[in-house]
Each structure stands twice: as structure tokens, then as C-alpha cells.
Amino acid sequence: MEPQASRSKKCQDFKRLQGARETRAFHKLLSSMYRKTYHVSSISDLNDIVRLADFYCALPAVKASIDGVLLNSLDLIEMIPENSVEFLATAYKLHHGFLFRESLVHVVAEWKEGSTILDGHPELAQVVRSAYNRLHSQIHKATFDILRATNEDVRLFEVFQKAKKTLKADVDSTAGTALFFRNIYNSYAWSPYYCSAGVMKARQALELLLSNKLELAGLVPNSVPIQAGVGIYESKFLCVSIANHELSWDTTAAEW
């Protein structure tokens, strides 16, 4: 059994660390209120500030400072993909549309039917499921337009057949399909001068499906382009967007 003195020292060390953490968060909260720049190194750091801001009714002040925080905290932006659900919940609490949209792209890119990860946040789950359903509608439309266009162009049919080999057998119907659509788009010589109207319609559907709605990620220096169906986003779509009226809060509210 651990000696009492050792347990007591660990308890004191923990309280000291917690006290230092609270102090740092409070200083950053004050910085937001006085419009001074500050750095945030992690999602837990950000959540500490938001928690204190909620207690002191200062959430609007922190929200106003977040744009500057993100510009000064690129390491925080890099954490969004792996912690997208937590960032989404934090952005919701702050009513910060920019961070919310960025996080939503990542959440939907990883979402699976029947997921319970947002059961504690029904308002967020509704937004995510709605965006996820729209993504599937885009996937179905692009697939239909491509299949119809393959009847008009034998070269596109050959590209389609080759791309099918990249499809993965998975319970999640979207797994691997970003790579599938990227291969079709990159392997065909699209040109309005010799392509039929049906083929050009398929191209338009592909471009919408493969579009990239991540804006914050572009601030981080990266030698690899951020594209759906490429690299770490090989099986992920990044085209999800949301209109202001779909956000889960009153965008006109000055206080909350």
C-alpha cells in the first residue's frame, strides 16, 4: 500500500497544478475581455477558458477573441481533426460559426450511421445528421450522373471501371468512396470542347463532391494538399457546409 505521506504529496501536487491551470485560464479570459492577444495550446486549455467565461457571463468576449486566437495558435488548429467532436461542442457553446463549420466538416467526414457519440448533445447530433444526409445525397447524385455519362463516352466508362477497383468492402457505405471519385476526376480528360452535356454535368457533380470546405486547415503549413480522396483524407469528403439559419443558436444574440 502507498504510504500516507506519498499520497498526501501527490494530492498537494495535483491541487497545485490545478491551481496553476485555473490561473492561466483566468489570465487568458481577462486578455479576451481586454482585447489582448493570447495563445491557446490545446483543446483542454480552450475549454478551461470557455468554462470560466460561462461562469463569469463572458462568452461573447471570448467568442470575439477566437479569430485572433486561431491565427496565433496554429498548433490548436492541427488538433481539430482528432478532436473534432469536442471542438464542435466548444464552438457551439461560443456561438462561433467559423470554428463550428470547420469542426463539422471533420465530424461528418468520420460519421457513421448509428453513432452515439453525440447523444449527450441532441442539438448537435441533429445538425451533424442533417449534414451527413446531404453528403449522401451528393454522393448519390454524383454516382447517378457518372453512370449516365458512361453511356455517352466509352473513355469515361473505362475510367469508371478502373476506379471501381479502389472501392473498399466496409460496413460504412462512404468508406473509400472519396478515393473512388477522386480517381475518376483525375483520370479523365474533361473538356467542354469535346465532352457531351451529360459528361460535363457529371464533372460538375464531382467537383462539388470533392470540394474542400476546410479553411482553418489551410493556415497550417503543409506540403501535402488538403483534398478529399488524397493522403490522410483518402476516404473522407470535405464538402460539407451549413447555412447560418441551420446553426444551432440565435446568430443575432448579443448575450447568452
Q: Which of 35, 28, 74, 67 is nearest to 49 (CA)?
A: 28
Q: Please provide the average confidence, as pLDDT, over all residues in the chain.
A: 89
pLDDT above 50: residue 188: yes
Are the C-beta atoms of residues 184 and 159 closer than 8 Å to each other? yes
Share of the chain above pLDDT 90, in %: 73
Q: How does residue 80 score in pLDDT terms, banded at 50, 70 and 90?
A: very high
* All structural domains of the chain with their residue ranges: 16-113, 122-233
Gyration radius from the chain CA atoms: 23
List Cα–Cα distances, 154 to 147, 157, 182, in angstroms.
11, 5, 19
Q: How does residue 17 score in pLDDT terms, banded at 50, 70 and 90?
A: very low
pLDDT above 90: residue 225: no
Distance CA 69, CA 63 (A): 10
Higher pLDDT, 166 or 233: 233
| Residues ≥6 apart with Cβ < 8 Å to 225 | 231
Q: How does residue 223 score in pLDDT terms, banded at 50, 70 and 90?
A: low
